[in-house]
Amino acid sequence: MPGFHIRTLLTTLAGVTASISLAQAAPDPLKIGVLVPLTGATAADGERLLKAHELAAREINAAGGITALGGARVELVVADTQSKPETGRSEAERLISRRGVSAVLGAWASAVTIPSMQVAERYRTPFIVTSAVTDSITEQGLQFVFRVSPKGSWAARDVVGFIRYLRQKGIAITRVAIAYEDGPFGQAVSNGYKAILPRHGIAIVAEETFRTGSPDLSTQAAKLKASRADLVLIVCYVDDESVLLRALTAQRYKPLVLGYGGGHVHPTLLQLGPSVEGTFGIVEWMADVRKPATEQFVRAYEAAYGTAPLSNAAQAYAATWAVALAAEAAGSRDRIKLRNALRHLKVSEGPASLLPNDALAFDEHGQNHVGNVMSQVIDGRFVTVWPEAVASQPVKLPRERGQQASVSFAILLQAIVSGLANGAIYALVAVGLTLVFGVMRIVNFAHGEFLMIAMYAGYFAWALLGIDPILAIALVTPGLMLVGVLLHGTVVRFALDAPEINQMAVTLGLSLLLQHLALVFFTGDNLLVTQPRSTEGIALGPVVVQFNHLIAAGFSLLLLGLLALVLKRTDFGLVMRAVAQSRDGAALSGIDIGAVYRWAMAVGIGTLGVAGPLLVSILYVNPHVGALFTLKAFVIVIVGGLGSFKGAFVGALIVGLAESIAVTWLSASIAATVPFAILILILLMKPEGLMSLGGRS
């Protein structure tokens, strides 16, 4: 059978390729492969990169194509890496061996770029790395790999330069702290900081880590405050950065803040208003860098897409032009000649020279020697303030800041309080899962995706109708209940008698489907609800609780109490409990099982209508945000006891507290293992969960 399928593939693919090449008029186009993530966690970035690649290609073609190749047009052959290394690799393979591209550009994240560029190296095809920062990419002696972006560790070099510059301006910076996302990106950049800053006499007094997607970073903020750092270096994506900046503001701690990369100069961040004013960001490129090529690019990009380009767009744009210029110089589509031409490329004017160095050129390792620039938020806009050669405005010096230290015992207290607040929020998500399981014996792997829908609903109610998220609950909850009924009627009803594994497959399929539909409709961008109260904190002695977290925790208690009451005191609750205990017994007593199931789904999914709007005002929403919570909710309901409300609440508090306390001593990745370790212990010692009354399934 495999032979048959591969044959069919062969003919289909050959047909597609043939029809594409027939459509093109002579001379043959110069084909350039573009590897970008159009799905997966980094889809939004991929879309932006693609826009810049396409803009460059249009400009090259409008200017008459590649003159040395008889006016050949540039044709981009785009492939989606799905943000996965092995997909990136096989797409690189496809672009080179099937589509016959002369060069490949890409592929955003280092984890995808590295395997893809190794394919290109094997095929002796030039690969221009547009934005990956891992140092080793241009340190392996590869002959066909080039990089327009700087090495990740060079950020540290430039930060040192900038600190010296600020010191010259009379700003005392003696104590520096780092806070970073404990994943590939944060680890790579912070490694550079930790290696290079101390060598230049800049002491790092604290190092805080977090996992991406944490709803509360108060503990980290409190520890940063306790370190009395003058400057906090942040390395993370824009989503987590907004959560961290809110937490810092709530702690009434205002150090100098210096973020890293595209995440820090992202328009989303400006929605934070005063919390972000005056903060710095180190970035590869800014739209106001004083260079003629930059101005031209920004104007063209805005005219084409209506938004301002971000730094990685400039790198993608420069990389596309670089291939065209190399083809012009080589007068050939041949990959080896193209590589040689790239080696000798030196562009100091024209569109490809928009990056902030004197000339775009690659050294013997293929690395472009380009530094970073420093941006600052001044009057609610990102402006370039350093180096002075390309700065559009002088740096705005902060006023003297008096720092009061917090006491160290307060950190543990803070961890406990924010752990409890987090736990209450988790309970809000987990209770629906446990209800549905308790009554219907179905584990819903798409639970988080319904939360995601509720979060989008909460966001749009606020953004389009101006409804406060708290009020939006009244609107979103009935909607979600309806979704629950529909879900029961169209899917779950048919899955009830299927084996467990088929039920799992159904809900998993649903989860994938909803995530990718959301990606199509809402794109991968993070959406943020910002209100005056989002940065407010309430001080309880030495401890600060953020206002929105307190509201969410309050609602969580209220909802759980209400549900418990309904279940204990009403006939409706009695029927539910009867079905949960014995489906057949209940059916024999004349209970309409179908109706009970419908209501259980309505209430189970409906609870997310409460959770969604509250959570979106604390966190942010994107198509993948639900997945962060599904797994956590599983852990919680099993620790507490599947099907038990009290269990969900206790489990949520345990998980919230464990995470929050663990992170005061351990790195965020190690701390993330703690809830799972607890889960394993519970499963082994008391598999029915802490609060369960009945036996196991």
Partner 1 sequence: MSNLRTSAFVAALVLTAFLAASGDPYFMDIFILTCFFGTLAVCWNMMAGLTGLMSLGHPLFVGIGAYSVAWGASAHGLPPLVTWPLGIALSVAAAAVIGMLCFRYGLRGYFFAIATLAFNEVAFFAVSASVALGRSDGIILPTSPDDSPFHLQFFERWPYGLIIGTILIGVVSAGELLMRSRTGYYWRALRDNEEAAEALGVHARAYKLWCFMFTAGVAGLCGSFYANYVAFVDPRSVLGIDLSVQMLVYSIIGGMSLLWGPLVGAVILVPFSVVLRGITPIPGGDLIVYAVLLAVLALVLPQGIAGWFIARRQRRKIRRRGDEAPGVAS
* Sites for partner 1 among residues 492-551 (CB under 8 A): 494-495, 498-506, 508-513, 516-517, 519-520
For residue 2, the minimal CB distance to partner 1 (Å) is 4
For residue 36, the minimal CB distance to partner 1 (Å) is 9
Q: Is 93 in the site for partner 1 (CB under 8 A)?
A: yes
Q: Is 397 in the site for partner 1 (CB under 8 A)?
A: no
For residue 437, the minimal CB distance to partner 1 (Å) is 9
Closer CB to partner 1, 3 or 541, in the complex: 3
Answer for which of 97, 307, 348, 403 binds partner 1 (CB under 8 A) is 97
Dihedrals φ, ψ of 253, to 5°? -120, 120
Q: What does each C-alpha distance from 94 to 53, 77, 327 come to in angstroms?
A: 19, 10, 22
Q: Is 631 in the site for partner 1 (CB under 8 A)?
A: yes
Answer for which of 6, 23, 464, 588 binds partner 1 (CB under 8 A) is 6
For residue 254, the minimal CB distance to partner 1 (Å) is 31
Q: Is 265 in the site for partner 1 (CB under 8 A)?
A: no
Q: Candidates 289-297, 397-405, 427-435, 629-637: pick the segment binding partner 1 (CB under 8 A).
A: 629-637
For residue 454, the minimal CB distance to partner 1 (Å) is 20
User: Rounded to an integer, what distance in angstroms lies between the CA atom of residue 110 and that of residue 116?
Assistant: 10
Rule CB under 8 A: which of 28-57 touch partner 1?
38-39, 43, 46-47
Q: Is 20 in the site for partner 1 (CB under 8 A)?
A: no
Answer for which of 21, 58, 75, 90 binds partner 1 (CB under 8 A) is 90
Cis status of the peptide bond prior to 107, with omega within 30 of 0: yes
User: Rounded to an integer, what distance in angstroms lies between the CA atom of residue 697 and that of residue 684?
Assistant: 15
User: Rounded to an integer, what distance in angstroms lies between the CA atom of residue 314 and that of residue 295?
Assistant: 11
User: Rounded to an integer, what distance in angstroms lies between the CA atom of residue 278 and that of residue 374?
Assistant: 12
Q: Is 195 in the site for partner 1 (CB under 8 A)?
A: no
What is the enclosing helix (H) or strand (E) of 328? Answer: helix 311-330
Q: Is 648 in the site for partner 1 (CB under 8 A)?
A: no
User: Rounded to an integer, what distance in angstroms lies between the CA atom of residue 579 and that of residue 592?
Assistant: 10
Rule CB under 8 A: which of 332-361 touch partner 1?
none
For residue 529, the minimal CB distance to partner 1 (Å) is 26
Q: What does each C-alpha distance from 471 to 459, 461, 556 come to in angstroms?
A: 12, 9, 15
Chain CA centroid to CA 116, Å:
22
Q: What's the DSSP call for residue 24? A: S
Closer CB to partner 1, 99 or 290, in the complex: 99
Query: Can you spell out the DSSP letters for 522-582?
Result: H-S--B----GGGG-EEEETTEEEEHHHHHHHHHHHHHHHHHHHHHHHSHHHHHHHHHHH-
For residue 122, the minimal CB distance to partner 1 (Å) is 6
Rule CB under 8 A: which of 655-694 touch partner 1?
667, 669-670, 672-673, 676-677, 679-680, 683-685, 687
- Decide: 137 and 149 in contact? Cβ < 8 Å: no
Site mask for partner 1 (CB under 8 A), range 59-88, x = bound: --------------------xx-x-xxxx-
User: Rounded to an integer, what distance in angstroms lies between the CA atom of residue 496 and that of residue 205?
Assistant: 56
For residue 238, the minimal CB distance to partner 1 (Å) is 18
Rule CB under 8 A: which of 128-157 touch partner 1?
134, 136, 140, 143
For residue 7, the minimal CB distance to partner 1 (Å) is 6
Burial class (CB in 10 A: 0-12, 13-18, 19+), 136: exposed
Q: Candidates 114-122, 196-204, 560-568, 592-600: pick the segment binding partner 1 (CB under 8 A).
A: 114-122
User: Rounded to an integer, what distance in angstroms lies between the CA atom of residue 296 and that of residue 612?
Assistant: 42
